[in-house]
Amino acid sequence: MRQQLLASKDQSEGYHALDADFTHLFGSWFNRGFLTLRPIDWTTPAYILEKIIKYEAVHEIAGWEELRRRLAPADRRCFAFFHPRLADEPLVFVEVALTRSVPRAIGDVLDEGREQINADEATTAVFYSISNCQDGLRGISFGNFLIKQVVDDLCRDLPGLKNFVTLSPVPGFARWLAKARAETPLALDDPNWPDDEKTAAEVERVLLPLAARYFLTERTPEGRPVDPVARFHLGNGARLERLNFLGDRSAKAMQQAHGLMVNYLYKLDDIVANHEALAQRGEVIASPAVKSLLNQNDESRRSGNGQQGSRPFAQIVNSTLGGGRK
């Protein structure tokens, strides 16, 4: 019923009241205490694996062979939350790669020819895809509980793990950048720009500082980070660790984020303090490397007379990313 409600174009007072009732009700029915965490692997019944393929929302699973590559190897894990009254319907699931280092690109995780390792060789657990499965439960958060539970389970089973990070998409970045710029043709408008080494280097020089601004200073009217994935991980207490240029060159990622991906770091001792910094002060906790990119962005905004911010932001974006194109 709520799935149909959310699909409605009705924005009346009655619509919002009914949705508030659903949200309150589902928040109780799907309380963390009722949910069970189950591992998903290659021996999981096929009718559930079919739903994992169907519900994957971040990196499409093309078929059974690709699903096998994500579930069967020793350095891969997948976990899902289930409700006792929906025993065969996953509510949310996370895919995990066990690695020796923090990956910069999704190809390092998903490429068919990647090097496989034994699980006990891994030092890093990479959460590279989190998918909510039920449209009718949109806005009912399970992912924060899921990550914390998975971290606990992985620490118990693999004590050699030291780092817990994500490799995350940035679904709002291209839309934000498009609003910030004027209607001037830019290098980014050429779909082949990543294949030109010189153009790609120039785009990287400018795009990463702009991305740092997007994460660290831009806010919604409610004072929250503008990117939905950032709101989720930063709200859970993660740190913005690294911006990865052309981390995902799929058509979807190029359209949504010009290929940008992000690592969020879950450092267990800092999760509470990071969460409180965002919730109470609106501060995004970020690594020194990301903060330094924001400083570069500030420098690029200085005009010839040294006045900070003397040019409109759209003009800065156009002049830096346009590269003299006509």
Q: What is the Cα–Cα distance from 258 to 78, expressed in whole angstroms?
A: 28
Residues 6+ apart with CB under 8 A from 249: 194, 259
Please indicate whether residue 233 is annotated as part of the active site.
Answer: yes
Q: CA separation (Å) from 101 to 37, 95, 129, 266?
A: 26, 17, 17, 14
In one letter, which amino acid is 290? V
Closest by CA position to 248, among listed 146, 158, 161, 171: 171
Q: Same domain, yes or no, for 175 and 317?
A: yes
Report the percentage of the chain scoring pLDDT > 70: 89
For residue 56, give the CATH number of its domain. Answer: 3.40.630.180
* Phi and psi angles of residue 97, each rounded to the nearest 5 degrees, phi first: -110, 135
> How many C-beta neighbours within 10 Å does residue 191 have?
10
Residue 13 lies in a domain: no
Q: CA separation (Å) from 286 to 148, 177, 236, 294?
A: 20, 21, 14, 11
Q: Same domain, yes or no, for 45 and 184?
A: no
Residue 2 lies in a domain: no
Please indicate whether residue 168 is annotated as part of the active site.
Answer: yes
Q: Give the structural domain span for 285.
A: 171-227+250-322
Residue 118 lies in a domain: yes
Q: Same domain, yes or no, for 85 and 152?
A: yes
* Phi and psi angles of residue 145, each rounded to the nearest 5 degrees, phi first: -65, -40
Question: What is the pTM for the complete model shown?
Answer: 0.88
Number of domains observed in the structure of the chain: 2
Q: Same domain, yes or no, for 153 and 217?
A: no
pLDDT in tens, 236-280: 999 999 999 999 999 999 999 999 999 999 998 999 999 999 999
pLDDT in tens, 158-180: 999 999 999 999 999 999 998 87
What does DSSP assign to residue 225? B
Which position among 101, 168, 250, 310 bears the catalytic label? 168
Which position among 233, 258, 310, 319 bears the catalytic label? 233
Q: Which of 166, 201, 217 is the last residue of a domain?
A: 166
Q: Name the pLDDT band for 302 (thresholds 50, 70, 90).
A: low
Q: Same domain, yes or no, for 192 and 308?
A: yes
Residue 238 lies in a domain: no
What does DSSP assign to residue 323? T
Residue 3 lies in a domain: no
Q: What is the Cα–Cα distance from 118 to 107, expressed in whole angstroms?
A: 19
Q: Same domain, yes or no, for 41 and 144?
A: yes
